[in-house]
Structure 1
Amino acid sequence: MPDFTPGETGTDEVLFAQDGVLGRVLLNRPRAINSLTREMVRAVRARLETWADDDAVSVVSIEGAGERGLCAGGDIRAVREAHLAGTTGGVDFWADEYVLDAQIAEYPKPVIAVMDGIVMGGGLGISMFADARWVTERSKVAMPETRIGFFPDVAATYLLSRAPGELGTHMALTGTTITGADAVHVGLADSVIDSTSVPDLLAEVADGRPVEAVATGAAGDEGSLLAPARGWIDECYASDDPAAILERLRAHPHQDARAAAVEIAARSPLSVAVTLEALRRAADARSVREVLETDTTVSARLLERADFTEGVRAQLVDKDRSPTWEHARLDEVTREEVLALFAAAR
């Protein structure tokens, strides 16, 4: 194991090492499942810029410290606190985070994302656009933002809108957690590998073996739980009207469809409507960066709405899991409200 040390910014919440030809990024907040802070984001950005021009580094890996996961997302509690304090800290965090996501998506050298354990929200932002996305038998992948009055940002809608059928819509609206095999099926990962093999695989890359020749785990539909559900998912979610989707799910004979309706009905109605709009727009986007530009607009505007503050309170601060949303029902959210949140976007 190489010696991991802090980067140029000095924070020890993310560490770096050069291991042969491999530049390694280690998110180092294991007690918080490596949730991203602005300091971490800025440190990774700086080191990636350095390695981009370093001929001794030919590939980069992104890993998480501890056994719980790569990254549970951005530090949303800190975003809420900054907003309540009247500062721009939350918007500033997202601005830096989205730049990092684009940097990874466009990086001139191969990037490996070790998506072991929990990978959610901003954790997907730093991994789903990597060149080699390794999930394991322990992976738990999700974009659960509708639970906290937000929406799947970090350009997640770019990939979710391109998932088979309406699987991405189901994931985004419900915020459901999926397995590594499902992540491969929907296009958020490339292969399922055994978690115990990760050190050896990284060692092979460090020794100069091509990234594409290393991970040979399961791909395709093997082991996917979502693939067999395409029937009712495609039938129910094929609409641009969120209220219509909810009613189709409620009326469907399949019990999983009705369970999905219960999940969506418990989410922020405004967030569900915004998420569906974001998905449909992202399907026509030409690049990840284009979607991130839209996300910049929508995230700043949702921060000003009551549901974000209330959702984070209920899920992460008081943890009573009983949010009082701005709208009582999904059919109360008007089309005009949703479009206003995208007004500065394409």
Structure 2
Amino acid sequence: MGFSEVLRPVSRFNSFKRTQIILQHLRMSSHTDSEPEVLLERKGCAGVITLNRPKALNSLNISMIRQIYLQLKKWEEEPETSLIIMKGAGGKAFCAGGDVKAIAEAGKAKEKWIQDFFKEEYTLNRAIGTYQKPYVSFIHGITMGGGVGVSVHGDFRVATEKTLFAMPETALGLFPDVGGGYFLPRLPGKLGYFLGLTGFRLKGRDVQKGGVATHFVDSDKLTMLEEDLLALKSPSKENVAEVLDSYHKKCEVNQDKPFVLEEHMNNINSWFSASTVEQIIKHLEDDGSPFALEQLKIMKKMSPASLKISLRQLIEGSSKNLTEVLIMEYRLSQACLRGHDFYEGVRAILVDKDQNPKWKPAKLEEVTDEFVNECFKSLGSNDLKF
């Protein structure tokens, strides 16, 4: 509602009255938007975190990251809180990622908070990965990027038939961050390399069969599951696992269906074991099967620089711990903010939506080793510290 609509019906009032009405209208509109972006509640034995921006698919901004981090630290110290449950409001998404458009705008404008965003997001990812109490995420609905970061490092991830998982960053001129360099290489075979480089989407039961989720439950059972978890008296990891296992076992949806990539896994394992992106591309070309050509087409749309940075991130991450991976990823995030492709990817995919990014460098062979090495270089005193 613009000011013109507010003014039209009240033009016969004096200006004082008119001002009052406008102020009241602004208060009303800000009031309807003033629902907290994240709900932090103590229920039974648990601290329950609800990401509460359903219109924005619960994407994370810096204030949500700060609130969640501080509350998690507090609950970690409290003896009466023995479990954390993380979920998303609205039923459509658990969390579709970080607020990438806002990050790109701020990065272009060289705003200081942008460095803080990645620092604080990765600090939260690490806090979840090292948390001293059982941490359960209900990854119901869209779970991408930053949403993966606030779930996958916890002990338990419960997928439903509505879960849609992806790490689509290479299409945006980024890399699969939020600890992707840690968890992706640890998925079965070379599955994580494939998911990280192509942005391939896993849905429903496949999210659990691929090893991203630990359990699979019908979405209409989530409320009951939560109640059963909240009813536990100072639960241990084992107690929580028992409850989750019992729900998982009862859920028969797609139980006997093979993993969506099962027939391709041998090929994926051999194609993506190459140490360069050029070799992976060659493997796909040489194979020539419909599935290989589909992946080839997808990878050729991605930022060449992102592909090279991401492959190296995954190879290096496979032998680093989570803390070391996040320090490496922070360096990469700053390299992307200094570069061209991230802003161009956001423009093409999210802003103008012409789906036609002009990457620089435009070809894989133009992305030099020097360029990639530069992205991984220490930032000295600006490195991420925990």
Normalising by structure 1, what TM-score? 0.93
Amino acid at match of 1:153: D
How far apart in 1 are the matches of 2:336 and 2:209?
30
How far apart in 2 are the matches of 1:272 and 1:335?
13
1:333 corresponds to: 367
Amino acid at match of 2:223: P
Give 1:262's match in structure 2, choosing from 291, 297, 305.
297
Q: Aligned to 1:256, what secondary structure does the other structure show?
A: helix
How far apart in 2 are the matches of 1:334 and 1:205?
51
Q: Does 1:39 align with 2:52?
A: no
1:215 corresponds to: 244
Q: Mean Cα displacement is larger for which, 70-79 or 213-222? A: 213-222
Deviation readout 1:95-121 (Å, 9 max, x if unpaired): 110011111111111000100110000
TM superposition shift of 1:164: 1.6
Q: Does 1:171 align with 2:195?
A: yes
Aligned-CA RMSD value: 1.8
Deviation readout 1:62-120 (Å, 9 max, x if unpaired): 00000111100000111111111121222211111001111111111100010011000
Normalising by structure 2, what TM-score? 0.84
Question: Is contact 1:282–1:291 with CA below 8 Å preserved after alignment?
Answer: yes
Deviation readout 1:113-170 (Å, 9 max, x if unpaired): 1001100000000000111110111110011000100001111121111122211111
How far apart in 2 are the matches of 1:187 and 1:158?
14
2:274 corresponds to: 239
Q: Aligned to 2:314, what secondary structure does the other structure show?
A: helix
Closer/same/farther in 2, CA of residues 185 and 344 from structure 1, 3 Å limit: farther
Q: Mean Cα displacement is larger for which, 230-239 or 121-130? A: 230-239
1:13 corresponds to: 37
How far apart in 1 are the matches of 2:256 and 2:64?
35
2:342 corresponds to: 308
Amino acid at match of 1:157: G
How far apart in 1 are the matches of 2:113 and 2:129?
24
Question: Is contact 1:168–1:186 with CA below 8 Å preserved after alignment?
Answer: no
The 5 Å alignment of 1:30-109 reads: 30-109=54-133
Question: Is contact 1:11–1:39 with CA below 8 Å preserved after alignment?
Answer: no
Deviation readout 1:154-198 (Å, 9 max, x if unpaired): 111211111222111111110111124333233321011111111
Q: Aligned to 1:51, what secondary structure does the other structure show?
A: helix
Q: Aligned to 1:214, what secondary structure does the other structure show?
A: helix
TM superposition shift of 1:222: 5.7
Give 1:162's match in structure 2, choosing from 183, 186, 193.
186
Amino acid at match of 2:378: A
Question: Is contact 2:146–2:178 with CA below 8 Å preserved after alignment?
Answer: yes
Closer/same/farther in 2, CA of residues 302 and 237 from structure 1, 3 Å limit: same
2:151 corresponds to: 127
Question: Is contact 1:180–1:189 with CA below 8 Å preserved after alignment?
Answer: no
Q: Aligned to 2:84, what secondary structure does the other structure show?
A: strand
Amino acid at match of 2:115: V
How far apart in 1 are the matches of 2:338 and 2:190?
30
TM superposition shift of 1:205: 0.8
How far apart in 1 are the matches of 2:258 and 2:223?
24
Question: Is contact 1:166–1:233 with CA below 8 Å preserved after alignment?
Answer: yes
Deviation readout 1:4-30 (Å, 9 max, x if unpaired): xxxxxx981001111110110000000
Amino acid at match of 2:345: G
2:12 corresponds to: none
TM superposition shift of 1:257: 0.9
Closer/same/farther in 2, CA of residues 311 and 105 from structure 1, 3 Å limit: same
Q: Aligned to 1:201, what secondary structure does the other structure show?
A: helix
Q: Mean Cα displacement is larger for which, 175-184 or 88-97? A: 175-184
Q: Mean Cα displacement is larger for which, 178-187 or 82-91? A: 178-187
TM superposition shift of 1:236: 1.3
Deviation readout 1:280-308 (Å, 9 max, x if unpaired): 000111x2111001011111111111000
Q: Does 1:150 align with 2:184?
A: no
1:274 corresponds to: 309
Amino acid at match of 2:337: L
Q: Aligned to 1:119, what secondary structure does the other structure show?
A: strand
Q: In percent, how many aligned pairs have the same letter?
A: 35
Closer/same/farther in 2, CA of residues 111 and 63 from structure 1, 3 Å limit: same
Unaligned runs of 5+ in 1: 1-9
Question: Is contact 1:265–1:330 with CA below 8 Å preserved after alignment?
Answer: no
How far apart in 2 are the matches of 1:155 and 1:144?
14
Unaligned runs of 5+ in 2: 1-33
Q: Aligned to 1:215, what secondary structure does the other structure show?
A: helix
Question: Is contact 2:304–2:359 with CA below 8 Å preserved after alignment?
Answer: yes
How far apart in 2 are the matches of 1:300 and 1:118?
26
Give 1:230's match in structure 2, choosing from 232, 241, 265.
265
1:7 corresponds to: none
How far apart in 2 are the matches of 1:90 and 1:256?
39
Q: Aligned to 1:259, what secondary structure does the other structure show?
A: helix
2:27 corresponds to: none
How far apart in 1 are the matches of 2:113 and 2:68?
18
